[in-house]
């Protein structure tokens, strides 16, 4: 690989730097700017996915426990959750 690979990487780096420096104008390259904003938003959402799922499960479990306690505290509404029905 060696020299040929190094040449390809150098060309890609020059192209990347050229594009980055010449597409900074938000008005002229509005679509590029909008896509970058969308990409950043999606990337941040994926990064927070584990936390979001964990919190959702915890809140759902808490709501389930709270609702069971409220139903069982009503007169005549005692539910046996261990009866298998």
Q: Residues 21-74: pLDDT tens digits?
A: 898 899 999 998 999 899 999 898 888 999 999 999 999 888 888 776 665 666
Between these two residues, 78 and 19, which has the higher pLDDT value? 19
**What distance in Å separates the CA atoms of residue 21 and residue 74, rounded to the nearest whole number?**
68
Do the beta carbons of residue 79 and residue 72 sit within 8 Å? yes
CA distances from 46 to 14, 39, 49, 54 (A): 30, 11, 5, 14
Q: pTM of the predicted model, to two decimals?
A: 0.44
The pLDDT-based confidence of 17 (bands split at 50, 70, 90) is: very high
Looking at the predicted structure, is the pLDDT value of residue 84 above 60? Answer: no
Do the beta carbons of residue 68 and residue 81 sit within 8 Å? yes
């Amino acid at each position: 690989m060696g020299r040929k690979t190094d040449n390809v990487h150098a060309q890609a780096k020059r192209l990347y730097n050229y594009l980055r420096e010449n597409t900074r104008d938000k008005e002229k390259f509005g679509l590029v700017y909008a896509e970058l904003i969308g990409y950043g938003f999606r990337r941040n959402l994926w990064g927070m996915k584990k936390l979001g799922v964990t919190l959702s499960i915890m809140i759902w479990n808490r709501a389930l426990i709270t609702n069971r306690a409220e139903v069982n505290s009503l007169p005549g509404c005692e539910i046996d959750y261990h009866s298998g029905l």
